[in-house]
Amino acid sequence: MTINPALLLILGALPVPLLNGRARAAWMLLLPAAAMVVLWTLPEGVHGGFDVLGLALNPLRVDALARVFATAFLVAAFISVVYALNLRDRVQQTVIPVYAASAVGGALAGDLITLFVFWELAGLSSVFLIWARRTERAYRAGMRYLVAQVASGLLMLGGIVLHVQSGAGLEFGFIGLGDPGGLLILLAVGIKCAFPVLHAWLQDTYPEATVVGTVVLSAFTTKFAIYVLARGFPGTGELVWVGVAMACFPIFYAVIENDLRRVLAYSMINQLGFMVAAIGVGGALGVNGAAAHAFADILFKGLLFMSMGAVLLRTGTAKGSELGGLYKSMPQTMVLCVIGAASISAFPLFSGFATKSIIMEAVSEEHRTVVWLLLLFASAGVFHHAGIKIPFFAFFAHDRGHRVAEAPLNMRLAMGLAAAGSIAIGVAPNLLYGLLPYEMDYSAYTVPHVVNQIQLLLLASMAFTVLMRTGLYPPELPSVNVDADVVYRRFLPRAWRTGVQGTTRVRDQVTKPLQRRADRVLALASRPLKARGWLGTPWPTDVMVLWVALLLGLFLLVSLL
């Protein structure tokens, strides 16, 4: 029998709550490592397929696209486990391998039923990373997160049913928008991928998770959705503009946001936009660019979330208005955070440069000038809010007097692994290019590309400096920014309360007069039955005999007719 790496992780998570201390740490580190070995010993092809009610199920299919995403998920799982070693919370440590297994299993799924099972497992398991914070805000955020995940699952299930009814079968390959089922599946993916308007759950819930939970959440759900898009919807032209919108609009929210973990949540949507646009362009460069950038994003975005998690752990806050000067107390965390910032900003010799350039090249080869310019603007914007704002306001700006200990050793090791991966991809991008699903003759380090990127970064940094020196840059203030979540957090509850109050008023104005009239009619009809009514008084015997005779005669007459 062929072992499924996802099943290995799920079964391996069962004894985690029963282990203690170093035994539990060693076991948790062994799980993703063993799954990685299993993944890379599997030959390409379908393994262990079987039929159910005439439908072909292929729970384990290995090809280049599945392998690169599954590898990224297992790397993220290992780094997350290292980052969580100082936890004493058995719930979080048990959830991590199960949640990782859902993403790995989905990447290796060969049919839509298996995909749906892991799609739902990802949503149901990950919510515990939010609830594990054990606050009222976390509980409410977890409920909203769960609603989004369940809605996505229902759309996915409905789409699969319609897709199969159209005669397409259960194979998880290209889906497209040729039938209503494909549209429902795309909407389901759009929720987890944070399409515009459908995105609000992400920045609403991720910052409410635990220190470790936010790091783990950043690695799996959205990248799982990117994989489904890359497998099922490559070359779907509508995705290009969806991706452009995703890359651009979060910039404005991130600039004015005070919570630095929420800034990173907006930054995540920005980076997902590049991947979605690349998938919409399609072709070898488009799909390769999306896969490569997803791999790199798992590392550098995880690194940034880990650094802010360490800051939150030591200072008790992740708000820019309450931070600053931490380079004195947490210099190692600061250096690692800067590496993550350089990677997401696509500095040469860092991972973002090697992966984002593939996407820009794919767009350029399609001669999509407007799209290319908008993505270039988004690249400058991410340098502003993630490359500069995060390390500047956390570690350098307006010293708030925090004198705290450096991050725990295991957290620094996890951040070091992510930083090393980001630098390795940037310095030797062919290490990642060799894992991509399509062969390509591409080099990121050409003179025009390096010069253009350095010019972009220099101009963006100059703009930030000018805005800061002139006081035009939005200050870090405790505030609440209104986003699409206002619809379900404020507007819908208010509309519900208004509707209930209106219904109550209508009921009072209409039903009460009718009730009074009904009472009068009932009183009039029941008057003969009362003690003094004509039916309630004693009748003489001769009258009773007369009534009996009349009733008998009436009965006989009716029977004769």
What would the pLDDT profile of 40-65 be if each residue is shown by its tens digit?
A: 999 998 887 787 777 788 999 999 99
Neighbours of 223 (CB within 10 A): 26
**In this structure, are 219 and 248 located in the same domain?**
no
Domain for residue 520, yes or no? Answer: yes
Question: E-strand spans in 129-200?
Answer: none
**In this structure, are 252 and 146 located in the same domain?**
no
**In this structure, are 99 and 88 located in the same domain?**
yes
**In this structure, are 364 and 470 located in the same domain?**
yes
Domain for residue 105, yes or no? Answer: yes
Query: Residue 51: what are its φ and ψ, rounded to 5°?
Result: -105, 140
Structure confidence at residue 497 as a pLDDT band (50, 70, 90): confident
Residue where a domain stops, chosen among 203, 233, 263: 233
pLDDT above 70 as % of the chain = 97
| DSSP-derived 3-state class of residue 366 | coil
pLDDT digit string, tens, across residues 141-188: 999 999 999 999 999 999 999 999 998 889 999 999 989 999 999 999
**In this structure, are 501 and 430 located in the same domain?**
no
Residue where a domain stops, chosen among 233, 264, 295: 233
- For residue 133, give Cα distances in angstroms to 92, 212, 311, 478: 10, 10, 16, 22
**In this structure, are 216 and 304 located in the same domain?**
no
Question: How far apart are alpha carbons 190 and 201 in whole angstroms?
Answer: 12
Is residue 351 scored above 70 in pLDDT?
yes
Domain for residue 484, yes or no? Answer: no
Structure confidence at residue 530 as a pLDDT band (50, 70, 90): low
**In this structure, are 343 and 223 located in the same domain?**
no
Helix (H) or strand (E) holding 51: strand 50-52
The chain-wide mean pLDDT, for the chain, equals 90
Question: How far apart are alpha carbons 311 and 396 in whole angstroms?
Answer: 13
Residue where a domain stops, chosen among 459, 479, 499: 479
**In this structure, are 436 and 519 located in the same domain?**
no
Q: Which amino acid is at 173?
A: G
- DSSP string covering 381-401: HHIIIIIIHHHIIIIISS---
- For residue 321, give Cα distances in angstroms to 105, 388, 531: 41, 15, 82
The pLDDT of residue 477 is 66
pLDDT digit string, tens, across residues 428-459: 999 999 999 999 889 999 998 999 999 988 98
Q: Which amino acid is at 100?
A: A
**In this structure, are 137 and 44 located in the same domain?**
yes
Using CB atoms within 10 Å of the CB of residue 369, give its burial: 0 to 12 exposed, 13 to 18 middle, 19+ buried: exposed
Domain for residue 398, yes or no? Answer: yes
| DSSP-derived 3-state class of residue 329 | coil
**In this structure, are 470 and 511 located in the same domain?**
no
**In this structure, are 242 and 364 located in the same domain?**
yes
What is the token pair recorded at 89? 């919370």
* Structural domain that includes position 376: 234-479
Domain for residue 98, yes or no? Answer: yes
pLDDT digit string, tens, across residues 279-315: 999 999 999 999 999 999 999 999 999 999 999 999 9
Structure confidence at residue 14 as a pLDDT band (50, 70, 90): very high
Can you tell me the mean pLDDT for 67-74?
A: 97
Query: What is the number of domains present in the chain?
Result: 3
User: Is 355:421 a contact under the CB 8 Å cutoff?
Assistant: no
Structure confidence at residue 499 as a pLDDT band (50, 70, 90): confident
**Of 67-71, 86-90, 114-118, which range is least confident?**
86-90
The pLDDT of residue 167 is 86
**In this structure, are 82 and 65 located in the same domain?**
yes
